[in-house]
Amino acid sequence: MNFQPSEVTLEVARAARDFAAREIRPYVMEWDEQQHFPLEVLQSLGKLGMMGVLVPEQYGGAGLGYFEYNAVIQEIAKVCGSIGLSVAAHNSLCTNHILSFGSEEQKKQWLPKLATAEWIGAWGLTEPNTGSDAGNMKTTAVKDGDHWILNGTKNWITHGRSSHLAVVVCRTGEPRTRSNATAFVVERGTPGFTGGKKENKLGMRASETAEMIFENCRIPDSHRLGVVGDGFRQALTILDGGRISIAALSVGIAKGAFEAARQYAQERHQFDQPIANFQGISFKLADMATEITAAELLVAQCCDLKERHEKVTKQSAMAKYYASETAVKVATDAVQIFGGYGYTKDFPVEKYYRDAKLCTIGEGTSEIQKIVIAREALQG
């Protein structure tokens, strides 16, 4: 693969970097403290094409590729992981599910609003008692003539309350049987579809995480994505791409923490010299820089495979696993380099520290990634 970014990728990265510096950085801690979800920021990003990066221009998107998408997520996450998470979930989960599995009519109906962020999207797979065990989901969809009736609760859903539209995977067969799930699009305002509890989280606090509740929610069959029973296969495909998003998010957070720690280590003096001169600090920075670069290359490999329309299951799991664990390690070391100041909210690294942990959990825990990697590796 070619490791030299294209001019388009560099320009997209600059635009995302400038936007983050101007529209996000001044408000990061305010949003974090108040758990405020800045919907207007996502809508502004939509006007720049960053909420529909992968969506073809014919549906109102930017018509760009995975390298540009990776650049957007990284640059925003370097400033605020919460906004990076929201951009990732909207693009790679909800919007990409419709783009990948919707009919032409469905794409024309929903993608233009999602790609411009006129509508914000959510994606519902996880439930209170079925996280990694998604095959045993309790949310059901029962056919009733030309409609389906949905009942159940999804949780840990990004934009679970504020989204205008959600792609929801429901059980349409018996528990733990093959082909027992189907994906549907549910618009906000549909009777029986409501937002539930908003989670009070350790990190990523400006990205809304909430329940979605369905109580005899009736939707037309035209809102079904693909054939009946294909929902779980679709979800696994979407998660392959989604893991690239979380890996990019992790790299962005790690870069933000590293840059803050590097600057501090050069400015902070002890014993009449910058602490960066001490081997204990410089070796931490060396490890951080090396691991970030390795994670970045894993993500780039995934982007290259996606651009060539090749299978990415093993590589995306590797990238997500390694990059997310790297983000946690780098953020931890950044706090250590800052010392006591790193433990306060007056400096940025404590937020990177809190935000990074979600990356090892969302869209499949590190343990699930190792299962996927091992299974793929054993197949040769």
Task: Work out the number of other CB atoms within 10 angstroms of the CB of residue 220.
Answer: 11
Residue 23: active-site member: no
Sign of CA dihedral 331, 284, 69, 72: positive
Task: Work out the number of other CB atoms within 10 angstroms of the CB of residue 367.
Answer: 11
For the chain, state the CA radius of gyration. 21
How far is Cα 170 from Cα 299, in angstroms, rounded to an integer?
31
Take residue 378 and report the two structure tokens written for it: 């054993």
Take residue 68 and report the two structure tokens written for it: 């540009």
Contact 281, 301 (CB under 8 A): no
Q: Are strands 140-144 and 147-158 parallel, antiparallel or unpaired?
A: antiparallel
Q: Are strands 165-171 and 121-124 parallel, antiparallel or unpaired?
A: parallel
Count of residues making up the chain: 380
Take residue 259 and report the two structure tokens written for it: 């840059």
Catalytic residue (choose from 7, 363, 367, 376): 363
273 φ/ψ angles, rounded to the nearest 5 degrees: -160, 160
Which are the catalytic amino acids? 363
